[in-house]
Amino acid sequence: MAQSRTKQLLVEGEDDKFAIVGVLQHHVEWPGQRGKWPVLIEAVGSVSEILNANFVRTKLKESDLEVLGFVIDADDEPTSRWNSFRAICHSQFPDLPEKLPTAGLVTEDQFGLRLGFWLMPDCSSSGMLETFLKYLVPPPAEALWKHSEQAFEVARTLGAPCRSVHHDKARIHTWLAWQDPPGEGPGRALVRKTLDPKAASAVAFVAWFKQLYLL
């Protein structure tokens, strides 16, 4: 099947895109060639770029669009992120709930256009893609993960300038740097199962994705 713009997923960056693909490849039929992906996954940029009212409303008006999904980081303001998205889409989707469902949003308008929204890591907590990824660290690697947490704290005392809001990002990349081969990106780590693509958090995300795109 050739990739079609009728089914789209918008994410922040390339790491998000390939981490999502790395998970999906273990749950649904997902060709290796990008041109044959069943859903077009597009890295847009920052949250402010994705949650730009003109951008979202323009995407929703694209001809032949059947499904449009969004995956963004909650960071430290999950409620604010959802409220912003809800306000942008309200005129076309007036029945959006006041609170984002913990299983992710899947809805459609009166014309059958499907809309989805997932807030990393789990549609309710603060965090980001890397927070989601830390829940995919396999149990046998838990001791090494705890060590990466301790190493992060020591690095901070030694003057590491990494901001506290990015602690999960620093920790997961530290942990990946100690794997064989070292320093793989999250997407590749998921393909190789260095990170567990069938952990409970991944299964919850996949359930939302399959429901939204009818896979």
Token representation of residue 118: 């997932």
Instruction: Write down the pLDDT at residue 164.
Output: 78
- Give percent of the chain with pLDDT exceeding 70: 98
| Regions of the chain with pLDDT less than 70 | 1-4
Instruction: Write down the pLDDT at residue 33.
Output: 84
Return the exposure string of 12-46: e unless at least 16 CB atoms fall within 10 Å of the residue's CB, then b. Answer: beebbbbbbbbbbbebeebeeeeeebbbebeebee
Domain ranges of the chain: 7-127+197-213, 138-191
Radius of gyration of the chain (CA): 18
- CA–CA separation, 106 and 209 (whole Å): 9
Sheet holding 105-108, edge to edge: 40-43, 7-11, 67-73, 114-120, 105-108
Instruction: Write down the pLDDT at residue 4.
Output: 59
Q: What is the pTM of this model?
A: 0.93
